[in-house]
Chain A
Amino acid sequence: DQQVKQNSPSLSVQEGRISILNCDYTNSMFDYFLWYKKYPAEGPTFLISISSIKDKNEDGRFTVFLNKSAKHLSLHIVPSQPGDSAVYFCAASARTNAGKSTFGDGTTLTVKP
């Protein structure tokens, strides 16, 4: 049973518009959530994170929202730029679990000029 799900394999948006990537989780023990960005032939790089004690975290054009009751988080990118085109992975971890993260399958974002 997949504990972290990204139900949209791909998303295409126009440059300048908002990109919204979604992620659902099932394990109530998760208390920290992260988004990673991955370009082809490179390793993932950390983008933004949120603790379960918060419902929003912002970093420049990137905002992550957490809805604990729905076990749902989303990543908003505003405005989207062509350089944002990449695979985005949602990950969840539990503080008591040696920093291990469980990853979703990723969403491929394409931002069209």
Chain B
Amino acid sequence: NAGVTQTPKFRVLKTGQSMTLLCAQDMNHEYMYWYRQDPGMGLRLIHYSVGEGTTAKGEVPDGYNVSRLKKQNFLLGLESAAPSQTSVYFCASSYPRGSTYEQYFGPGTRLTVT
């Protein structure tokens, strides 16, 4: 049981390049989330999904797109990377269990845009 995995772990992009970050979970969770964490700050929600085929915007969605074609995968795309998108990206998943919404996080992807 791997939990939540993220690919790649590190990436350096030039301004204007595109890339896709992959998140996979093997816990059969319905909900999945993408966050970014900047130095000295908490996690800010980019996009999230409440089920296969559905996505919604979070707090900071501009410059990112997502897709959830399969329940276990949640992809985050950067179409034209900007230096302001330099950050650590975390994927998480959860399932509603009574009143709990604890999230299970992946190890993160450190992205640098030059």
Q: Which A residues contact B (CB, under 8 angstroms)?
A: 4, 6, 9, 31-32, 34, 36, 41-46, 49, 51, 89, 93, 95, 98-106
Give the residue among B33, B105, B106 with the most A Cβ atoms within 10 A: B105
Complex-state Cα separation, A98 to B56, whole angstroms: 10
Task: Give A34 to B102 CA distance when docked, in angstroms.
Answer: 7
> Can you report 17 residue pairs joining A to B where beta carbons are below 8 Å apart?
A32-B100, A32-B101, A36-B105, A41-B107, A43-B90, A43-B92, A44-B90, A44-B103, A49-B102, A95-B99, A98-B56, A99-B50, A100-B48, A100-B58, A101-B101, A105-B41, A105-B42
A41 to B110, CA, bound (A): 9
Q: Is the CB of B104 within 8 A of A42?
A: no
Contacts of A101 in B (CB 8 A): 45, 101, 103
Which chain A residue lies CB-closest to B97?
A99
A103 partner, pick from B40, B42, B102, beta carbons under 8 A: B42
A27 vs B7: C-alpha distance when bound (angstroms): 35
A46 CB to nearest B CB, Å:
4
Give chain A nearest CB distance to B8 CB in angstroms: 14
Residues of A contacting B99 in the complex (Cβ-Cβ under 8 angstroms): 31-32, 51, 95
